[in-house]
Amino acid sequence: MKSDGRFLGLLSTIIMLLFAAACIIPFILLISASLTDQNAIVAHGYSFIPQKFSTDAYVYLFDRGSDILRAYGVTVFVTVFGTVVGVIITTLIAYPLSRSETPYRGLFIFIILFTMLFNGGLVPSYLVYTQLFDLKNTIWALIVPGILTNGYYMMMMRTFFQSTVPPALIESAQLDGASEYRTLWSIVLPISKPILAAIGMFTAIYYWNDWQNGMVYITKPELFSIQNLLNRIMQDIQFITTNLSSNSSQAMAQMPSDSVKMAMAVIGALPILIAYPFFQKYFIKGIVIGAVKG
Amino acid sequence: MEPAASAAAIQTAPKVKKKKINIRKHAPLLIMMIPGLLYLFFNNYLPMLGIVIAFKDINFAKGILHSDWIGFDNFEYLFKTSDAFIITRNTILYNLFFIVVGTVLALGTAILLNEVKNKVMLKSFQAIITMPHLISMVIVSYLVYALLSAETGFINNTVLPWFGIEDGIMWYSEAKYWPVILSLVHFWKSVGYSSIVFFAALLGIDEEYYEAARLDGANRWKQITNITLPIMIPIIILMTMLSIGRIFYSDFGLFYQVPMASGALFETTETIDTYVFKGLMGSGDLGMSTAAGVYQSIVGFFLVILANYTVRRYSKDNALF
């Protein structure tokens, strides 16, 4: 009995090691390829061990770092702003819906649920944001379409409030004369940090990774997020040179284009890969909160 | 995954009809909701009206409202071409495959994780296998490119020569390989993430069941097949039903970014979402893609209702509404 448990444990560990390796290996190829000399790539292709080590790609990108920095600026601003506003609006709608006293609560819940069942689709949304609000080529086009990423977050938070915040607590606060806002701020929110953190994190990841809004609404290179810049570079490696350097033809000739592509991807992925060990605990908790009801 | 979250609470909601509705007293609660409701109105409800444009000959010079009505012409064109069939087939088949195989892989991973008793290893495995979920599809498309690029890719330059294939394969122009490639990428990105959900459910299983089984002489494998799996069945069915409700919607990033929008791969990589997107971005037919969008919204709507109805019959608590 004991031994079959141990055997299964060992087998599980081995399979999981392989799985974990499969998750990491592509990143190693990416990093190695970005550190390989351009001629070596042309001769031998991308490989896990650089045939000829070279940091040319990074030197090249560093020289033309201004648009990468700007793209990071756009991404950081959009992520921070969108997440803060998104979490605030989600909380403000989820809290009343968790309270049985709220008039017409059933109607409001239906209004949210219906958005989860039916949507107009991409083209009508595009027309609303470009024709009615004129958001095309503004930074708001990267933020507004994702603010309430989806109805699930509102319902998730509402469920959390209902199952975690005892109504008696709210009642006693209000008997002491606390207003609704006061109650929410100093009674409800302090005990709801896990759900705020989970939803905030998922919203932030959405914004950080979003490329679709940028692709639909942004054509000005100054407003590209890091994802859009990556997309653009893959489509056209000359983008950086033609748009940003004055002596573009010379730059293009020297450009280590195959390694630059990979170096760009490393630069795009690096912040998340570096930050992940620090927030992975919360990420995994968040997945569980999001999946297990309440 | 997410639908399960919101589930329970919805039922417990509107049972306070007897109390007198006192709007003035509860005005602050209503005021709080205004930003969110306004947002939903503009972001979700207004575009719903926009589906009328599928019945128009869109002409940006005339403006949307003044474009000519053409009835069902857009739909007729769409369904006359083979496009409608291909994108529907691809969307549904990929999703079905992802649901079935994805569930098996995620559940298997969860069971394996449950057997890893070393705490540090367990935590590291969880962290590593969820990481791909965090990476944007743009980056994923670079990873795939590093492997598959015809001239510089790792597969063509290093792996295929091991097997004596020196010519290399033009991956980005051969449609037949892509069902495999896209499935691998999908599972790579999502299995770790979804296994965490199952793993959390496994942790919730009462240890007493296992103890009783051990006393009866059941080995670890027997315990998995006779205790773990039967207990997991409800959550598996629920998650499957909820995914089936979304079967008309594809993972847009996967199908758009990873094949790099290569036209040669249309046959096996185009889904409804990519078709609509390409129509809007000007590399397809706007009228037909708008019609495809409406087709998706309407069929998708009925599928969600149907899936929910099934879940409801099975377990009221977990239905969406």
Integer-rounded Cα radius of gyration of chain B: 25
Query: Is A23 part of the contact surface with chain B (CB cutoff 8 Å)?
Result: yes
Give the C-alpha separation, B144 to B155, whole Å: 10
Look at residue A1 in the predicted model and tell me its pLDDT: 45
Facing residue for B280 by CB, picked from A47, A100, A123: A123
Integer-rounded Cα radius of gyration of chain A: 25
Instruction: Please state the ipTM of this predicted complex.
Output: 0.87
Give tens-digit pLDDT for A208-257: 999 999 999 999 989 999 999 988 887 766 444 445 544 444 444 456 68
Count the neighbouring beta carbons within 10 Å of the beta carbon of residue A60.
21
Count the neighbouring beta carbons within 10 Å of the beta carbon of residue A233.
23
Give me the half-sphere count of Cα atoms (radius 13 Å) on the Cβ side of residue B57: 6
pLDDT-based confidence at A284, cuts 50/70/90? confident
Give tens-digit pLDDT for B122-144: 999 999 999 999 999 999 999 99
Look at residue A2 in the predicted model and tell me its pLDDT: 52
Which has more pLDDT, B320 or B39?
Answer: B39
pLDDT-based confidence at A30, cuts 50/70/90? very high
Give tens-digit pLDDT for B42-57: 999 998 888 888 888 8
Q: What percent of chain A has pLDDT over 70?
A: 89
Q: Which fold has domain A65-244?
A: MetI-like fold (1.10.3720)
Residue B71 region by backbone torsions, left for phi larger than 0, else alpha for psi between -120 and 50, else beta: left
For B69, phi and psi rounded to 5 degrees? -75, 135
Determine the straight-line distance between the first and last CA of chain B, rounded to whole angstroms: 16
Query: Is A130 part of the contact surface with chain B (CB cutoff 8 Å)?
Result: no
* Domain boundaries, given as residue ranges, for chain B: 65-318
Contact B127 A27 (CB under 8 A): no
- Cβ B65 vs Cβ B49: under 8 Å: no
Contact B301 A117 (CB under 8 A): yes
3-state secondary structure of B81: coil
> Does the pLDDT at position B191 exceed 50?
yes
Contacts of residue B51 in chain A, CB cutoff 8 Å?
Answer: 120-121, 124
Q: What is the mean pLDDT of residues B108-120?
A: 92
Facing residue for B130 by CB, picked from A96, A156, A284: A284
- Cβ A269 vs Cβ A27: under 8 Å: yes
Count the neighbouring beta carbons within 10 Å of the beta carbon of residue A9.
17
Contact A277 B64 (CB under 8 A): no
- Cβ B43 vs Cβ B27: under 8 Å: no
Cβ-based neighbours of B208, under 8 Å, separated by 6 or more: none
Q: In whole numbers, what is the pLDDT of chain B averaged over residues?
A: 85
Query: Is A51 part of the contact surface with chain B (CB cutoff 8 Å)?
Result: no
Contacts of residue B195 in chain A, CB cutoff 8 Å?
Answer: none
Look at residue B236 in the predicted model and tell me its pLDDT: 87
Of the candidate ranges A8-22, A197-211, A230-244, B270-284, the one whose mean pLDDT is the lowest: A230-244
Of the candidate ranges A15-29, A190-204, A261-275, B48-62, the one whose mean pLDDT is the lowest: B48-62
Facing residue for A103 by CB, picked from B21, B141, B320: B21
> CA-CA distances (angstroms) from residue B208 to A8, A194, B213, B271?
20, 30, 8, 47
> CA-CA distances (angstroms) from residue A161 to A93, A189, B281?
12, 9, 42
Which has more pLDDT, A26 or B238?
Answer: A26
> Does the pLDDT at position A64 exceed 80?
no
- Cβ B304 vs Cβ A117: under 8 Å: yes
Contact B143 A27 (CB under 8 A): yes
Give the residue from A275, A105, A110 showing the smallest Cα distance to A201.
A275
How many interface pairs between A and B have CB atoms less than 8 angstroms apart?
Answer: 349
- Cβ B318 vs Cβ B11: under 8 Å: no
- Cβ B277 vs Cβ A101: under 8 Å: no
Q: Find the length of chain B.
A: 321
Give me the long-range contacts of B224-231 (CB less than 8 A, separation at least 24). B224/B111, B228/B111, B228/B114, B228/B202, B231/B205
Give the C-alpha separation, A263 to A280, whole Å: 25
> Does the pLDDT at position A285 exceed 60?
yes
Look at residue B4 in the predicted model and tell me its pLDDT: 43
In the 3-class helix/strand/coil scheme, how is chain A assigned residue by residue?
Answer: CHHHHHHHHHHHHHHHHHHHHHHHHHHHHHHHHHCECHHHHHHHCCCCCCCCECCHHHHHHHHCHHHHHHHHHHHHHHHHHHHHHHHHHHHHHHHHHHCCCCCCHHHHHHHHHHHHHCCCCHHHHHHHHHHHCCCCCCCHHHHHHHCCCCHHHHHHHHHHHHHHCCHHHHHHHHHCCCCHHHHHHHHHHHHHHHHHHHHHHHHHHHHHHCCHHHHHHCCCHHHCCHHHHHHHHHHCCCHHHHHHCCCHHHHHHHCCHHHHHHHHHHHHHHHHHHHHHHHHHHHHHHHHHHHCCC
Query: Is A261 part of the contact surface with chain B (CB cutoff 8 Å)?
Result: yes
> Does the pLDDT at position B16 exceed 60?
no
Q: What is the pTM of this model?
A: 0.88
Facing residue for B146 by CB, picked from A46, A115, A162: A46
As a CATH number, domain B65-318 is 1.10.3720.10
Interface with chain B: mutation pick from A123, A219, A235, A281, highest number of B CBs within 10 Å: A123
Give me the long-range contacts of A76-83 (CB less than 8 A, separation at least 24). A77/A139, A78/A139, A78/A142, A78/A143, A78/A207, A78/A210, A78/A225, A79/A204, A79/A207, A79/A208, A81/A143, A82/A142, A82/A143, A82/A146, A82/A147, A82/A203, A82/A207, A83/A200, A83/A203, A83/A204, A83/A207
Q: What is the mean pLDDT of residues A49-78?
A: 89
In the 3-class helix/strand/coil scheme, how is B203-226 assigned residue by residue?
Answer: HCCCHHHHHHHHHCCCCHHHHHHH
pLDDT-based confidence at B10, cuts 50/70/90? very low
* Domain boundaries, given as residue ranges, for chain A: 65-244
Which has more pLDDT, A238 or B36?
Answer: B36
Structure tokens at A36: 């390989």
Look at residue B59 in the predicted model and tell me its pLDDT: 75
Q: In whole numbers, what is the pLDDT of chain A averaged over residues?
A: 85
Contacts of residue B129 in chain A, CB cutoff 8 Å?
Answer: 16, 19-20, 23
- Cβ A159 vs Cβ B6: under 8 Å: yes
Strand partners, B56: B69
Q: What is the mean pLDDT of residues A77-89?
A: 95
Look at residue A178 in the predicted model and tell me its pLDDT: 87
| Chain B: residue whose CA lies nearest to A279 | B127
Q: What's the gap in Å between the CA of B9 and the closest CA on chain A?
A: 5
Look at residue A66 in the predicted model and tell me its pLDDT: 85
Give the C-alpha separation, B185 to B141, whole Å: 9
> CA-CA distances (angstroms) from residue B215 to A71, B116, B207, B209?
62, 22, 13, 10
